[in-house]
Amino acid sequence: MSDLSLRRTRRLARGAVPPAFGVAPITPGMVGGRYMPLTQAEMERIHDLVLRLLEDLGLSQVTPSLERRAVEAGCRVDETGRLRFPRALVEDVIARTRRKFTLHGLDPVHDLEIGGRRVHTGTGGAAPTIMDFDSGRYRESTVADLYDIARLVDRLDNIHWYHRSVVARDTDTILDLDINTTYACLSGTTKSIAVSYTDGNSVRAVQPMLDMVAGGEGKFRERPFCTAVCCHVVPPMRFATESCDALEAAVLAGMPILLVSAGQAGATAPAALAGAVAQACAEVLAGLILCNLVDPHCRGIFAAWPFVSDLRTGAMSGGSGEQALLSAACAQMAGFYDLPNSVPAGMTDSKLPDVQAGGEKGYTISLAAHAGATMIHECAGMQGSLMGTTLESYVLDNDLLGAILRTVKGVEVSEDTLNFDVVRDVVMGAGHYLGHPQTFARMKTDYVYPEIADRRSISEWQEAGARDARAVARDRVRRILSEHYPGHIAESVDARLRETYNIVLPTARMRAGNGVW
């Protein structure tokens, strides 16, 4: 190949072709489900245990209002106070619950169709610390960090929603935390947001905020763009009273509900992986039943999130091979039930965005995606087994997610991709495909080009300064956070929010030239 041809090929690989040659090779909601760690018979055995756990064991500590609804629907409270769910009711709710729904963004361009093994990737977590961008040391996370991460996510195409990923440690009460978390997420991105609410009072308090941002009273319910994340159970097989109150309030408010069971295999869930999957499914279905008793049209998301313990120490191991299998198996069980779902993946144990992080994120997210998880949470930005986050990780993980989603799309087999005439024309003509019309047409529809990963030759890379991926990602973080201050919430609305709520994020911090970035 001539030098001219080589240079031209490199220009093509770097995207120097107008987008008119085709649609993007990856989009939100491509269908997964080709990876199946469980056989049909194994899923049926797990389901049988799920039904037995709900009917013969049940869950304790349900709230009085939800207990009343459940008993009216045919459940019973046994002599030990445990709420038991008859098999007929469980199977009836599974059969009639919503199979799919739209997860709305603040901007409709970010609306997502959830359900049917349509794969989406986004953030999640509750990290108490963030690596300081300047010092490189972990510190307590703040409301400003929530806002900055939201602004990053707003510019990263392969992160499809923003579920708060850090806990703001600069708020005084749970109510202040939930209000300021909701405000920071709403202000930083036009994508769908999610907030972990542990108290019904918080849900009721933020309802007017959501309506104000949506355009007026009752407007949020028309296009609900904030998901309530409810850890409604304390494994094993016990309801979380406060979170159940939040769950009921969120359903009544018309919010999508992420129903999370987060047992830890070997600690609060069975060490046997199949048993951990079964317990998680039972606990999530208990919450889904309660949601449907409040509102049969609720937007419930089946979030079986069993985590893994390193059984030598008892510590969580979010980047383990076992975690990859657990999440994939839970995604497959959700597919067995045909329910919109979520699993966790990408929760590396590494404290840095290094080779360990890349490897652990790569295989855990890939298996979840190929198992058909509707939503993969916590797959961007998280470090240290969910205890920390780093800003550059979001940029690096966005690159990784693009490559993984390309594998979900798979290989297109069609008349055009198996075209005899294309091969004949090249063989009998130029002898290479570089200038062929199919190459030009396919380079934008079939190929994903990374923004951070470096594909240059060694010599080109060295001549350009020999910088590693983390350094390049840090440059992009600086560029986005110094320039991108979203203005989708009108100043008049923001002023009303600040008059109504105790907002701790200064207005000046949300403007360019603030001295931070």
- Average pLDDT for runs of 10 along the chain of length 517: 42 40 81 97 98 98 97 97 98 97 98 97 97 98 98 98 98 97 98 96 98 97 98 98 96 98 96 98 98 97 96 93 98 98 98 97 98 98 98 98 97 95 96 94 93 96 97 98 97 98 97 94
Of 70, 94, 118, the last residue of a domain is 94
Are residues 84 and 226 both part of a single domain? Answer: no
- Answer whether residue 513 is part of any domain: no
Q: What is the pLDDT of residue 24?
A: 84
Are residues 69 and 119 both part of a single domain? Answer: no
Q: What is the pLDDT of residue 14?
A: 40
Are residues 383 and 427 both part of a single domain? Answer: no
Q: What is the pLDDT of residue 440?
A: 92
Torsion of CA 201, 207, 209, 215, to 10 degrees: -170
- Answer whether residue 267 is part of any domain: yes
Torsion of CA 374, 190, 224, 64, to 10 degrees: 80
Are residues 90 and 105 both part of a single domain? Answer: no
- Answer whether residue 386 is part of any domain: yes
- Answer whether residue 235 is part of any domain: yes
Are residues 195 and 308 both part of a single domain? Answer: yes
Question: Do residues 130 and 389 make contact, with C-beta atoms less than 8 angstroms apart?
Answer: yes
Are residues 353 and 240 both part of a single domain? Answer: yes
CATH number of the domain within which 358 lies: 3.20.20.480
- Answer whether residue 33 is part of any domain: no
Q: What is the pTM of this model?
A: 0.94
Structure tokens at 293: 């008793």
Are residues 69 and 216 both part of a single domain? Answer: no
> 287-302: string of b/e by CB count within 10 Å (b at 16+)?
bbbbbbbbeeebbbbb
- Answer whether residue 216 is part of any domain: yes
Are residues 88 and 220 both part of a single domain? Answer: no
Q: Give the residue among 74, 98, 97 at the shortest CA–CA distance from 87.
A: 74
Are residues 239 and 372 both part of a single domain? Answer: yes
Q: What is the pLDDT of residue 421?
A: 96
Question: Do residues 202 and 209 make contact, with C-beta atoms less than 8 angstroms apart?
Answer: no
Of 357, 385, 408, the last residue of a domain is 408
- Answer whether residue 178 is part of any domain: yes
Number of domains forming the structure of the chain: 3
The values of phi and psi at residue 411, to 5°, are -100, 125
Of 35, 68, 94, the last residue of a domain is 94
Range of the domain at 79: 51-94
Contacts of 305 (CB under 8 A, 6+ apart): 260, 261, 262, 280, 327, 330, 342, 343, 344, 377
Are residues 166 and 242 both part of a single domain? Answer: yes
Are residues 327 and 429 both part of a single domain? Answer: no
- Answer whether residue 510 is part of any domain: no
Are residues 19 and 67 both part of a single domain? Answer: no
**Is the preceding peptide bond at 236 cis, omega within 30 degrees of 0?**
yes
What are the CA-CA distances from residue 221 to residues 161, 198, 501 (Å)?
A: 19, 21, 21
